[in-house]
Amino acid sequence: MHLHRLEKMWLAIGISMLAVFLIVLGTMAFSMGIQPPSEHHHTIDPAKVTETAPFDKPGFQLIGDRHYEAAMVAYAFGYDPATYEVEAGSTVDFTVTSSDVVHGFSIVGTNVNMMIVPGEISHISHTFDKPGTYLILCNEYCGTGHEYMKTTLVVK
């Protein structure tokens, strides 16, 4: 099939830009570790969340110098634990699951944004350098009280 000379140039430029873009994206993902969250399979029986560790005792646990592990349960319409305080510069490894329907887990002002699916456990880490009261909200519709579903993380 014959392509017009100008169309060949147009497509060549477009396709090269696309290739460069995908290489950048792929390099960031696979050699620099900037991945979308929760890639692996880490499952849980959604009917037994409250009996399964670590969600039988949801909360923050200090596991190193300014390094916390936060086991959280998302439910209609809130998060357990409701709020927590960490010092500035802390890294928090969030381990979150749902005890009912699909929820969101988004921390406003950060790139923390992931889905919480019943039966699955989602993971994401974030270092909170700036002090403030961070708003954690559900950004996936989950029922009548969806707009009330939130919690906060205070960074001092």
Partner 1 sequence: MKSFDRQDGKLVLAHILFAFGALLLGGIAGMMQGMVRGGASILPDFIGYYELLTAHGVLMALIFTTYFIVGFLYSGVSHTLGGKLLPAARKLGWAGYILMSVGTIIGVAVILAGQATVLYTFYAPMKASPWFYIALALVVIGSWLSGFGMFYQYRQWRKANTGKLSPLFAYMSVVTMLLWQIATIGVAVEVVVQLIPWSFGWVDTVNVVLSRTLFWYFGHPLVYFWLLPAYLCWYVVIPKIIGGRIFSDALARLSFMLFLLFSIPVGFHHQLMEPGISSFWKFLQVVLTFMVIIPSLMTAFSMFATFELFGRSKGAKGLFGWVKVLPWKDVRFFAPFMGMLIFIPAGAGGIINASNQMNAVVHNTLWVTGHFHLTVATSVALTFFGIVYWLIPVVTGRVLTPRMNRLGIIQTLIWCVGMFIMSGSMHTVGLLGSPRRTAYTTYDDHPDAVLWMPYHVAMAVGGVILFIGVVLIISNVIGLLRAPKGETEYPIGEVSESADHTPKYLERWGLWIGIAVALILFAYTIPLIDIIRNSVNAPGVRTW
Interface residue list for partner 1 (CB under 8 A): 1-4, 6-7, 10-11, 14-15, 18, 21-22, 25-26, 28-30, 34-47, 76-77, 100-102, 104, 106, 108-109, 111-115, 117-123, 133, 135, 137-148, 150, 152
**90 versus 98: smaller Cβ distance to partner 1:** 98
Alpha-carbon radius of gyration of the chain:
20
Strands, E, within the chain: which ranges? 59-64, 67-75, 78-80, 83-86, 90-98, 103-107, 113-116, 122-128, 132-137, 150-155
Nearer to partner 1, 2 or 65 (CB): 2
H/E stretch holding 13 reads: helix 5-30
Cβ proximity to partner 1: between 6 and 53 the closer is 6
Rounded Cα gap, residues 61 and 124, in angstroms: 15
The answer to whether 99 and 49 are in contact (CB under 8 A) is: yes
Q: Looking at beta carbons only, is 69 or 100 nearer to partner 1? A: 100
